[in-house]
Amino acid sequence: MTLYVEVIMVIIAIEHGQSSRFSKLWLKCDSSLLCQIFSSPMVVPWSLKGRWRRCIQFCDKIEFKVSHIFREDKHCANKLTNPEVHNRLIFLWNFVMPSYISLIFFS
């Protein structure tokens, strides 16, 4: 189930990039399996295969990069998943760094 959720979140992020007409997209994740999925898509759950193929086709047309980060290095992401943030926002795409994570980011 965890892999399914991770893949669907990647798909949503890539689909957002496509609808926003991004020409560059860099995906950073702490799941090495999720990073490997881009080179071996056989692991993608069958119910997501169609959406996954469309995402890969989009990624082939833009400057796309996927990289693995260690869990210890994702302090900013952890701050964004704080329950008090979720109480204020349902979903937000940040094009400017929120002030409450800037200190963590620059440290």
By residue range, what is the domain housing residue 103?
74-107
CA distance 61 to 64: 8
Q: Is residue 56 located within the same domain as residue 99?
A: no
* 103 vs 83, higher pLDDT: 103
Q: Is residue 80 located within the same domain as residue 43?
A: no
Number of domains in the chain: 2
CA distance 84 to 86: 5
Q: Is residue 3 located within the same domain as residue 49?
A: yes
Q: Is residue 66 located within the same domain as residue 78?
A: no
The predicted model scores a pTM of: 0.64
Q: Is residue 64 located within the same domain as residue 93?
A: no
Q: SS3 of 42, please?
A: helix
Tens-digit pLDDT profile for residues 2-41: 788 888 888 998 999 999 999 999 988 888 888 888 888 8
Q: What is the pLDDT of residue 88?
A: 47
Q: Is residue 5 located within the same domain as residue 57?
A: yes
Q: What is the mean pLDDT of residues 68-89?
A: 56
pLDDT surpassing 70 at residue 103:
no
Q: Is residue 12 located within the same domain as residue 63?
A: yes
